[in-house]
Amino acid sequence: MLICMRTTIQMDPHLLKAAKKYAAEHRRTLTSVIEDAIREVLARAKSPRPSVNLPISTRGGGFQPGIDPRRMADFYELEDLEAVERWRGPR
C-alpha cells in the first residue's frame, strides 16, 4: 500500500516553471520530477566526498583594527568609506 502525503513548499518561480516544462516535455508529473530530484540530492549526500588538501597560509595579518568578522556590516561600511575616498581623490 502506497501512502502519499500532500505538502506545500515555497519555490523560486523560475525553477518551478522550468520543472513544469521539463515534466511536460518528458510526459511526467511535476511530483515525479520533484521526487526524483530530491532522491538524487539525498543519494549524493550519502556518498563520501573525496577529501581535499587546502593550502594553509603562513602569512600573518588578519582584519584591520575595529573590524569584527562576525559583523558583515563593518565590511560594507569600510568599502563605502574607501569608495568615498577614491571619489574625493587625493587631498
Q: What pLDDT, on a 0 to 100 scale, did the predictor assign at position 91? A: 63
Q: What is the mean pLDDT of the chain?
A: 84
Burial class (CB in 10 A: 0-12, 13-18, 19+), 25: exposed
Q: State yes or no: pLDDT of 63 exceeds 80.
A: no
- 43 vs 79, residue with greater confidence: 43
Please give the pLDDT value at position 34. 95
pTM higher than the cut 0.85:
no
Q: What is the pLDDT of residue 29?
A: 95
Distance between CA atoms of 12 and 28, rounded to whole angstroms?
A: 20
C-alpha cell at 8: 506545500
Contact between 78 and 69 under an 8 Å Cβ cutoff? The reply is no
- Asked if residue 68 lies in contact with residue 79, where contact means CB atoms within 8 angstroms, the answer is no
pLDDT of 51 over the 80 cut: yes
Q: Where do the domains of the chain lie?
A: 13-46
E-strand ranges in the chain read none
20, 30 Cβ separation under 8 angstroms: yes
Which grid coordinates are listed for 19?
Answer: 520543472
- Give 37's pLDDT tier (boundaries 50, 70, 90): very high
